[in-house]
C-alpha cells in the first residue's frame, strides 16, 4: 500500500521540535520569574528555624533487610520487558477472515529504516530526521478484507535514551492532517489515549476509477509511535478506525 505521508516533512517535523523547544524555554522563563517573586516575598518574612537533621525513617526507598532482594516485576507490569522483546508480537493480529496481502511477508514483519523513509515525499530528509531522532526499528503488519479494503499498522520504536522521538514523530504526522491535501480536519481522539487521534479523509473521486476512502490513526506510547492506515472503495466509519486504534493501543 502506497503511503502519501508528507515528509518533505522533515522541515514540518523539525518545526514541531522547535515548537517543543520554545515551550521548554517559556516554561523555564516562567519558573525563573516565579522564583524571583518567591525570593522577594521570602525576604520580607522572619527567618524560620530549620528542622533537626537527624530524622531516621525518612530515607526512601526503604532499604531491604540484609540478604533480601526486591522481587522482579511480573511480565504484565514490566513494560520494558515487553517493548524490548520481539516488537512484532505487539502488533495487532490479523482479524478472523482477513487474508495476507501480496507484501505481507516482505521483511518477515520488519521494515528497514531506509524503506520506511522512502515512503515519504522527501526520503533523504525523512531518513536524516529519523536517524537524528534515534529510530531503532520498525515492525509492521498488513491484511486485506474483502476485495478492496487494506489495513496496515506500523510500530516505530525509538531508542530509550531519546524519549521524545516517538512523541515528536506522532505529533509531526498529526500536525499536517488538517491540510486540504490530507484529512482536512483535526480528527477525533482515540479512546484511552492521551495524545492519539484518528482521521477520516474526504473521498477521492476520479473519472474511470472507483471511489477511494482512507482513514489514518496516530499515537505514541513511551518509545513507540504507532500509525495505522485503512483504504477502501467503500466508506470507512469512525467506529471502524477507532476500534482498530484502541485495540492496537491496548497491546502496548
pLDDT digit string (tens) for 127-147?
Answer: 999 999 999 999 999 999 999
The pLDDT assigned to 20 comes to 36
For residue 154, what are the CA distances in angstroms to 48, 92, 116, 219? 58, 10, 10, 11
List the single range of 1-15, 51-65, 86-100 with lowest mean pLDDT: 1-15
Higher pLDDT, 121 or 45: 121
| Position 23 pLDDT exceeds 90 | no
Q: Count the alpha carbons within 13 Å of 239 in the hemisphere toward its beta carbon.
A: 0
For residues 215-234, give the mean pLDDT.
96
Quickly count: other Cβ atoms within 10 Å of residue 141's Cβ.
Answer: 19
Nearest alpha-carbon partner for 188 in 180, 198, 178, 179: 198
Grid cell at residue 124: 533523504
Question: Helix (H, G, I), strand (E, B), or coil: what is residue 176?
Answer: coil
pLDDT digits (tens, 9 = 90+) for 53-89: 555 555 555 666 776 666 665 555 545 555 667 999 9
Quickly count: other Cβ atoms within 10 Å of residue 242's Cβ.
Answer: 19
The pLDDT assigned to 239 comes to 97
Amino acid at each position: 500500500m502506497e503511503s502519501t505521508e508528507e515528509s518533505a516533512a522533515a522541515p514540518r517535523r523539525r518545526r514541531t521540535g522547535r515548537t517543543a523547544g520554545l515551550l521548554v524555554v517559556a516554561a523555564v522563563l516562567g519558573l525563573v520569574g516565579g522564583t524571583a517573586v518567591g525570593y522577594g516575598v521570602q525576604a520580607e518574612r522572619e527567618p524560620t528555624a530549620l528542622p533537626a537533621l537527624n530524622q531516621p525513617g525518612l530515607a526512601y526507598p526503604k532499604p531491604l533487610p540484609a540478604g533480601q532482594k526486591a522481587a522482579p516485576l511480573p511480565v504484565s507490569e514490566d513494560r520494558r520487558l515487553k517493548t524490548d522483546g520481539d516488537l512484532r508480537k505487539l502488533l495487532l493480529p490479523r482479524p478472523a477472515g482477513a487474508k495476507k496481502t501480496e507484501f505481507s511477508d516482505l521483511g518477515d514483519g520488519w521494515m528497514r529504516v531506509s524503506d520506511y523513509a522512502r515512503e515519504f515525499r522527501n526520503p533523504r530528509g525523512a531518513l536524516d530526521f529519523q536517524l537524528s531522532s534515534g529510530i531503532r526499528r520498525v515492525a509492521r503488519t498488513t491484511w486485506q478484507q474483502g476485495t478492496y479494503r487494506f489495513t496496515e499498522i506500523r510500530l516505530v520504536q525509538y531508542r530509550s535514551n531519546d524519549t521524545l522521538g516517538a512523541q515528536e514523530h506522532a505529533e509531526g504526522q498529526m500536525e499536517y492532517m488538517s491540510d486540504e491535501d490530507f484529512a482536512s480536519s483535526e480528527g477525533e481522539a482515540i479512546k484511552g489515549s492521551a495524545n492519539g487521534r484518528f482521521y477520516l479523509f474526504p473521498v477521492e473521486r476520479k473519472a474511470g476509477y472507483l471511489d477511494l476512502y482512507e482513514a489514518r490513526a496516530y499515537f505514541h506510547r513511551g518509545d513507540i509511535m504507532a500509525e495505522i492506515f485503512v483504504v477502501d472503495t467503500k466508506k470507512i466509519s469512525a467506529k471502524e478506525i477507532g476500534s482498530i486504534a484502541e485495540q492496537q493501543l491496548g497491546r502496548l
